[in-house]
A and B are shown apart, each in its own frame.
Chain A
């Protein structure tokens, strides 16, 4: 695999993994607040 392609794929995986956690966290936090609102 050429070095640049390997780097690009690695970058996509890295960004997906780190940002994925943050995105799910943001969604969870919003949903949690919505649930709290509806309970009230």
Chain B
């Protein structure tokens, strides 16, 4: 199953994939915990102090959530070869600012530290957060060749295709027939090859759009339907029907791949021809 995994995986070499490290900002959720305890303990002796700690803790939790959201957006942007236009809200910077304010509140009103030292602690927390978790990715529109679709559209179709592949994988795991499982594995690998081709050169999306949107959805529905019903009893006819559908899907995948590769070759042919003509005309 591991070779079929795609979610969060990045291609690093021929056939090799590795999971990208995904920071989830656990530290920002964990470190302020004592402030909650201190708020509870001080609630009976000093209301201002307890309030200071409570505000500090709440702000730290909000900051951690914001930073986590920023990290998720960055992770999603880095996962694909195509760059997505990043969010217009700088979540990580906002999180660092809220954390700084929270630590200042906790230090000044909770721990009753001198004003200037509290400011320094707040600044330290904000700067530290930026240094550890970084800043938000660039918000400028990514470069995309003029292909009639935006990078957002390409990513949306690829993400939808990924979801359908995962659904087929999930349905595959519920099927017990080894032969059908193997055929589905090969189908999944074939579909991933197609999505990889599109990801490498989004111009191919025009030719693969129907496959990724319509045929893949059909394949997903059929596989899920088979996985749901095949365990109910005598499924001889259902099995043979499903086999014939799989054969059709395999054929379509093969044709689609061939079409994409042939197109690349044609483009290369045209480029070579143009270059040849140019050289003949202009010379050196």
B97 on interface, CB distance cutoff 8 Å: no
- If over half of A's interface residues share one DSSP class (helix, strand or loop), that class is named, otherwise mixed; here it is helix
How far is A29 from B153 in the complex, measured between Cα atoms in Å? Answer: 57
**Chain B residues, CB < 8 A from A10:** 127-132
Q: Which of A9, A16, A18 sits near B32, CB closer than 8 Å?
A: A18
Q: Which of B41, B49, B107, B132 sits near A7, CB closer than 8 Å?
A: B132
Whole-angstrom distance from the CB of B249 to the nearest CB of chain A? 45
A17-B35 in contact (CB<8A): no
B121-A21 in contact (CB<8A): yes
B113-A14 in contact (CB<8A): no
B128-A21 in contact (CB<8A): no
Q: Mark B101-119, 1 if CB is under 8 A from A, else 0.
A: 0010011001111000000
B128-A24 in contact (CB<8A): no
Instruction: Name the residue of chain A whose CB is nearest to the CB of B36.
Output: A22
B35-A25 in contact (CB<8A): yes
A14-B128 in contact (CB<8A): yes
B261 on interface, CB distance cutoff 8 Å: no
How far is A36 from B45 in the complex, measured between Cα atoms in Å? Answer: 10
Size class of the contact patch on chain B: 20 to 34
A13-B124 in contact (CB<8A): yes
**Chain A residues, CB < 8 A from B110:** 21, 25
Whole-angstrom distance from the CB of A35 to the nearest CB of chain B? 10
A21-B107 contact given A15-B31, A26-B38, A29-B38, CB 8 Å threshold: yes
**Chain B residues, CB < 8 A from A29:** 38, 41-42, 45
Chain B residues 78 to 129 lying within 8 A of chain A, measured CB to CB, are 103, 106-107, 110-113, 121-122, 124-125, 127-129
**Chain A residues, CB < 8 A from B113:** 21, 24
A40 on interface, CB distance cutoff 8 Å: no
How far is A13 from B31 in the complex, measured between Cα atoms in Å? Answer: 12
Instruction: Name the residue of chain B whose CB is nearest to the CB of A16.
Output: B124
How far is A22 from B103 in the complex, measured between Cα atoms in Å? Answer: 10
Given contacts A13-B128, A21-B103, A22-B38, 13 further A-B contacts (CB under 8 A): A10-B132, A11-B27, A17-B103, A17-B125, A18-B31, A20-B121, A21-B113, A22-B34, A24-B111, A25-B35, A25-B38, A25-B110, A32-B46
27 contacts between A and B (CB under 8 A): A6-B131, A9-B131, A11-B132, A13-B127, A14-B27, A14-B125, A14-B129, A15-B27, A17-B103, A17-B121, A17-B124, A18-B31, A18-B32, A18-B60, A18-B103, A20-B107, A21-B56, A21-B106, A21-B113, A22-B32, A22-B111, A24-B111, A25-B53, A25-B111, A26-B34, A28-B112, A32-B46
Leading 4 A-B pairs by shortest Cβ distance: A10-B131, A14-B128, A13-B128, A22-B34
Interface residues of A (CB under 8 A from B): 6-7, 9-22, 24-26, 28-29, 32-33, 36
